[in-house]
Amino acid sequence: MPFRAPVADYRFILDHVADFGRVAATDLFAEATPETVEAILGEAGKLCENALAPLQRAGDLKPAKLENGVVRTTPGFAEAYGQIAEGGWVAISASPENGGMGLPLSVTTCVNDMMSAACLSLQLNPLMTQGQIEALEHHASDALKAVYLPKLVSGEWCGTMNLTEPQAGSDVGALSTKAAPNGDGTYAITGQKIYISWGDNDFSANVCHLVLARLPDGAPGTKGISLFMVPKFIPDESGEPGQRNSLSVVSLEHKMGLHGSPTAVMSYDGATGWLVGEEHGGMKAMFTMMNNARLGVGVQGIGVAEGAYQHALAYAQERKQGKTPDGSPTIFGHADVRRMLATMRAQTFAARSIALSCAVALDMARATGDADWAARAALLTPIAKAYGTDTGIEVANAGMQVHGGMGFIEETGAAQYLRDVRVTAIYEGTNGIQAMDLVGRKMMDKGEAAWRLLEEIQSGAEAARGTLPELAGAVWDAAEELREATERLVGQEMQDRFAGAVPYLRAFALVLGAQAHLAAALAEAGGPEVAGGGGIGGDGGGPRTRLARVFIRRLLPEHGALLAHAGAGAGDLYALDLEDLGA
């Protein structure tokens, strides 16, 4: 089935939901005019439809392989990556000083979304490089920037992130990789890292690894960790790849999905590295990269949801099975199939709106230096990551169900979406960790950032009562319940918060998603509350409004049960012993 990049959806959300106009109105991003953004998204859409989407199945059927220490990538990936690099798509948001476009992260987020929908295995590669570029721009010395950033921005070289070790997953502070000073400003890096996405390839001139390691005087835990640039080939005096470094790919993981993306076990045997940032300041530098990656991973989930939805919708319009109530010749006429497709579409729109609102907040924080925007971005990041990836999994699963028995048959391609997206809820911090971050670190302000956001939601819903009273009232009520639950949450002990963190995050996401759908319906109805709104008149009967009804009437009510779960505390969980759990 041909993939269609949902460019119109991005434009609509940017204009009517996420309020991208505020970003374009800043001095920093003044060049991000509507015409420029539309042109960029249109060209990216063509790349995704024509170059990336045809490789979706190829990556699954002809995975990356390790042969005699060399990674051989899926046929066609090298050529498609060449188009990504040549088009400047790796570094849309990178500084123009290093060859980047300097455009808002909001635009990059749209492009990453559609690339993920077209071929997630390949999209993972530029996502890793984007995070590395940001980390280097913020923390590297001028000398390191001069050598690495132009090559990474151009796509000539690729970047990776090396955190995890066999004994140190989410507990990064337990790492054992060592960094010993060589006496010449470089360091000898020794250790093993696992789960390194795109740890090597056969189409870029160099692979640049950001590696967390501990100096001899590094304290135990995360406070003693430093960050190092460790390239596959050590740059020579002219900045070109020179001597091979003392690192290697030990093996590639045998994974449930993402077969086209080589996930490497990396070994460093006294490899030459350069310090990035300050000694023992590795986590600060790495979090710059990880926060970028967390939004990016959430968008990967949303992209896969888009691909799975389009796949299922096409199948539902072709498959003939049973007599439908409306006389339709295909299963599209069955109520339950319509329920699944409508839910898939509504969830994807909600998750995409949350992610782009997070990107807008990040752009505004960067452009204005305003602390409130930074707090908004920090609050939305774990929600965007967790809800985006959960949505990808749920939509891909529903896509298989739409296919019926054929969904379980690999030849249809429906199962690949679910296999590929499943890991996104795990990496860059599991979704449970995202939820704990939301109720813990992001609530250290006693909920102030949350209050401001909820006040906006309720004010918007109140203003919409005259145009769409039923939908507006439901959104206002849900936001009020969430506000009350948040008041109770900030008064709880931390372990009680953690016990209900996942349902709380989900409830928050549903309220945000409902706000997005309400804004979309208002824009379609030409409501005065939405800047630039126009279109079908005041009856609110267009496709955006019909989709909003599905989300607000059918999905939003789940938030009440989720908040009840969130407030239950941890006592009953810790009252259970192994015998109770059947051990």
Residue 267's SS3 state is strand
In this structure, are residues 249 and 273 in contact, taking their beta carbons and an 8 Å threshold? no
Residue 220's SS3 state is coil
Helices 501-525 and 7-16 pack at an angle, to 10 degrees, of 90
- Tally Cβ neighbours within 10 Å of residue 49: 16
Cite the DSSP H helix spans in 328-447.
335-368, 371-402, 414-421, 431-439
Give the separation between CA 515 and CA 511, rounded to whole angstroms.
Answer: 6
Say whether 38 is catalytic. Answer: no
Give the separation between CA 172 and CA 419, rounded to whole angstroms.
Answer: 26
Match 């709106």 to its residue by tokens: 353
Q: Residue 227 — φ and ψ, nearest 5°?
A: -115, 140
In this structure, are residues 299 and 306 in contact, taking their beta carbons and an 8 Å threshold? no
DSSP string, 287-338: HHHHHHHHHHHHHHHHHHHHHHHHHHHHHHTT---S--TT--SSGGGSHHHH
Q: What share of the chain is helix, strand, coil (3-state, %, to 5)?
A: 60, 10, 30
Residue ranges of E strands in 198-282: 206-214, 225-231, 233-235, 241-244, 247-252, 263-276
In this structure, are residues 471 and 548 in contact, taking their beta carbons and an 8 Å threshold? yes
- Tally Cβ neighbours within 10 Å of residue 405: 8
Tokens representing 381? 């990041």
Match 């072709």 to its residue by tokens: 318
Give the separation between CA 517 and CA 552, rounded to whole angstroms.
Answer: 8
Identify the active-site residue in 137, 394, 428, 524: 428
The amino acid present at 335, given as its one-letter code, is A
* 268 bridge partner residues: 191, 247
Give the separation between CA 435 and CA 441, rounded to whole angstroms.
Answer: 10
Q: Are strands 157-162 and 206-214 parallel, antiparallel or unpaired?
A: parallel
In this structure, are residues 403 and 315 in contact, taking their beta carbons and an 8 Å threshold? yes
Q: Residue 213 — φ and ψ, nearest 5°?
A: -150, 165
Q: Which residues are known catalytic residues?
A: 428
